[in-house]
Structure formats: C-alpha cells, structure tokens
Amino acid sequence: MDIQQRGEYLEQALRRVARWEEDGTLDNVDTLLHFLNAALNSMTPEIVGGLVGSLVEMMELGDQVTQSRMFKAAPAMISAADDAISNPPQAQHGVRHLVQSIRDPDVQSGLQILLHLLRVLGKGMNGKTDTQ
C-alpha cells in the first residue's frame, strides 16, 4: 500500500469518525466502553464462571425447547386459543355434555398430557424428582 492509499483510508476513517461525532454514535460507544470496563473490573473469576455456567444452561434449555414437540405445536395452540377468544364456542351446559366431551379421544389425549404435566409440576414443588 502506497502513501496515497494510506492517506485515502485515513481520510475515510476521519470522515466516519466525524459522522459518529455528529450523530452521537461516538458518545454512545464511549459510554458503552466505560460500562463494559466497569463491569469487567467488578467481576471476580467466580462471578464470570457463574455467568458462563448460567449462559450454557440457558442455551441448552433453549435448544431443548426449540426441539420439543410442544414448541412446534405452539403456533397451532395459540391460533386455536385466539379463535376461541374471538369466536367463543356456544356454551353447552350439563353433565351429559361434559361426559360427551370427556369421551372425545382428542380431549382425552389433551387431559392426559395436562394431568402428567400437573403431576410433574407437583413433584417439583414438593422437592421430588422423577426417580423418587
């Protein structure tokens, strides 16, 4: 690279820095750098290790969630809930309707899932694990 090219690059860089100064970007970068410096200076190796561990756990959980069938079914469930809220089904009262609804195979499948989730939630709240 010759001197003329270096001069052109330097001129472009100075114009860019001048634009950053005019639109406030340079002040924002300065503030961000001061914040990051203060944050890094206040962190002990234990804090950094804890943050890294938490971040890894969050990433693993995010991967697990996005791979789950529940996550993939969420758009259809949200759409069905929106439809039910916008156009509520006609209320049918009585024990007979309730029994007919519970006999529906789709309702039975959904109830089994909900009951299992409630069981797991209750065990977790009582300090039990799946192995207990």
Q: How far apart are CA 35 and CA 37, in angstroms?
A: 5
- pTM of model > 0.75: no
The answer for residues whose C-beta is within 8 angstroms of residue 129's C-beta and 6 or more apart is: 123
- AA letter at 55: L
Task: Please give the chain's pLDDT, 132 residues, in tens.
Answer: 788 889 999 999 999 999 999 999 999 999 999 998 888 888 888 888 898 999 999 999 999 999 998 888 889 989 989 998 898 878 778 888 889 889 999 999 989 999 999 999 898 888 876 655
